[in-house]
């Protein structure tokens, strides 16, 4: 684990950006930059972080940064990594440059998953970070493949037709691990040393690595902006968001939760779940509770932990 005193004082993701107050993604970006080990290129797909951190002529990034379309973060990162490799082979470049692709859940789970799959299959040496705020928060809070069952969004509104999103969240890490990559992990900004340690570990992998980090969104999830880290911690402590890593196929549970807090504590903090506490939505609430319990058992079993 990294120690607070070991972190660089220099800020490579600076203040002054236009992210919402309490935005979890902003905290995640700042933490990510604390883990760098040398020259770095950040490839940033369209999304909350991109639109709010680089409003012309200003930028919050003090590393090389590329804005690319919604769907191709992994493809552009692959091209940059391959270009540096060719330059080194031809003797035209002698430094090693880390390449980090950053995209939200919409640009990863849905629109960008083809590019991500291709890059993982080809074995490009880069780190892919998905900051997951569980909807298309930047364009109007539409549901994504990462939105949990029962959550109300503008395209899965809670009403007489449906009680929030009918489908369940995709298993992104499971999909990535199926490509045979060396390193994949989940993380939470509430556990900063776990996250920063994982970013550095992923950068040191010779090949593709993926980190899936929870990014609480006060605007879309509808909670008090001062509660972002509290929401992120409750997600872990209720077992809603298991924090684990997969290294060369071996699963390890990083944050153990032997006595989980009631899932209701996590749900009640967010306006997107308010309707689930009406009597007519009891079945949906139970379905979400069941999904959380089954997902935890699945991950714990893979990690060799008692359930």
pLDDT tens-digit map of 201-252: 999 999 999 999 999 999 999 999 999 999 999 999 999 999 999 999 999 9
Rounded-to-integer distance, Cα 82 and Cα 88, Å: 10
Res 307 pLDDT > 80 = no
State how far the alpha carbon of 259 is from the alpha carbons of 118, 175, 255, in Å: 40, 29, 12
| pTM recorded for the entire structure | 0.97
- The arithmetic mean of pLDDT across residues 269-278, rounded, is 97
pLDDT of residue 121: 98
Rounded-to-integer distance, Cα 43 and Cα 59, Å: 14
Q: What is the DSSP string of 261-298?
A: PPHHHHHHT-GGGGGGGSGGGHHHHHHHHHHHHHHHHH
Residues 118 and 76 sit within 8 Å (Cβ to Cβ) = no
Tokens of 286: 């139970």
């Amino acid at each position: 684990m990294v120690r607070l005193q070991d972190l660089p004082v220099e800020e490579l993701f600076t203040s002054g950006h236009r992210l919402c107050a309490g935005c979890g993604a902003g905290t995640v970006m700042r933490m990510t930059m604390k883990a760098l080990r040398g020259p770095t290129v950040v490839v940033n797909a369209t999304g909350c972080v991109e639109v709010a951190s680089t409003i012309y002529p200003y930028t919050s990034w003090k590393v090389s940064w590329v804005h690319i379309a919604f769907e191709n973060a992994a493809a552009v990162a692959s091209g940059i990594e391959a270009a540096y490799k060719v330059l080194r082979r031809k003797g035209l470049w002698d430094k090693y440059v880390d390449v980090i692709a950053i995209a939200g859940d919409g640009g990863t789970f849905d629109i960008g998953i083809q590019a991500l799959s291709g890059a993982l299959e080809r074995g490009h040496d880069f780190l892919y970070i998905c900051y997951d705020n569980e909807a298309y928060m930047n364009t109007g809070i539409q549901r994504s493949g990462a939105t949990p069952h029962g959550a109300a969004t503008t395209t899965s509104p809670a009403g007489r037709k449906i009680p929030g999103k009918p489908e369940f969240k995709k298993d992104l890490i499971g999909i990535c691990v199926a490509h045979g990559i060396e390193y994949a992990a989940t993380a939470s900004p509430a556990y900063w040393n776990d996250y920063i340690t994982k970013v550095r570990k992923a950068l040191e992998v010779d090949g593709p690595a993926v980190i899936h980090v929870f990014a609480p969104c006060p605007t879309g999830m509808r909670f008090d902006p001062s509660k972002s880290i509290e929401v992120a911690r409750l997600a872990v402590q209720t077992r809603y968001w298991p924090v684990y890593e997969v290294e060369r196929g071996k699963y390890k549970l990083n944050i153990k939760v032997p006595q989980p807090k009631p899932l209701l504590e996590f749900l009640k903090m967010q306006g997107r779940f308010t309707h689930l506490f009406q009597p007519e939505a009891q079945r949906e609430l139970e379905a979400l509770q069941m999904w959380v319990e089954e997902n935890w058992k699945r991950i714990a079993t893979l990690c060799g932990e008692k359930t």
